[in-house]
Amino acid sequence: MSHTSLPAEVILNWPAGDMHGRKVMQSQKRLGDLKGIFADETARSSAEPATVVYQVQWWQPAEPGQEGGLFWGVTTIHPGTVGGEFYMTHGHFHANRTRAEYYATAQGEGLLMLMDDSRMTWTEKMSPGSLHFIDGRHAHRVINTGKAPLIFWACWPSDAGYDYGSIAKEGFGARVFNRDGSIEIRS
């Protein structure tokens, strides 16, 4: 019997946070896209709108919404602040609250902010090698508190979906600022 080995569909560069493959997708979020995310909207709207805050690459080997598949991605959050508040992701709940996720840090320093339905909010420290299990009930956002890019890998179910609405409306229960070089979490 003959046997053929197919090439892998995606090749990762773990430390650099880069994925290569025909079906790998990507998106960038710039300051101009992040209206209402930071506390100081005046500072955000007067900053250069083309500045990239974070970028995501991901692979969807199943249809979004299909049960049983897994998606894989990587996010790079650049270092920086808006009105003293560290650069961060939008953050979201999963539309399906029974769908969990893993985040694993490749490079950089930051905080994974988690929030439950009652708006109780807490953080976990992210540093190279840290692995974070995100319960499907918890909203999640990542904040780069360091001076270098924060790069983390993620794996989540194809039918998790995204619920950005409640975060866009009410935010998380805390924000993270650079106060004279130290990290301040304000609730």
Q: In Å, how far are 80, 85, 142, 178 from 184, measured between CA atoms?
A: 15, 9, 15, 6
**Residue 150 site contact among Zn ion, ligand PAN, none (CB < 5 to 8 Å, cut-off depends on kind):** none
Cα–Cα nearest to 122, from 72, 174, 178: 174
Q: Which stretch binds ligand PAN (CB under 6 A): 16-24, 86-94, 121-129, 174-182?
A: 86-94
Partner residues linked to 12 by β-bridges: 19
Q: Are 177 and 184 in contact (CB under 8 A)?
A: yes
Q: Any idea which residue has 């650099």 for tokens? A: 16
The one among 10, 60, 80, 90 contacting ligand PAN by CB under 6 A: 90
Using CB under 6 A, pick the residue from 59, 156, 172, 177 that binds ligand PAN: 156
Residues 6+ apart with CB under 8 A from 181: none
For the beta carbon of residue 120, count every other beta carbon within 10 angstroms: 10
Show the binding pattern over residues 85-104: x = contacts Zn ion (CB under 5 A), - = does not: ----------------x---
Interacting residue with ligand PAN among 44, 92, 132, 175 (CB under 6 A)? 92
Question: How far is residue 187's CA from residue 175's CA, in Å, rounded to a whole number?
Answer: 6
Q: Which of 39, 43, 52, 56 binds ligand PAN (CB under 6 A)?
A: 56
Rounded least distance, CB 183 to Zn ion, Å: 23
- Which partner in ligand PAN, Zn ion, none is near 172 (CB below 5 to 8 A by kind)? none
* Least gap, CB of 55 to ligand PAN (angstroms): 9
159 binds ligand PAN (CB under 6 A): no
The phi and psi torsions of 118 (rounded to 5 degrees) equal -90, 10
Give the footprint of ligand PAN on this chain (CB under 6 A).
56, 73, 75, 89-92, 101, 140, 154, 156, 160
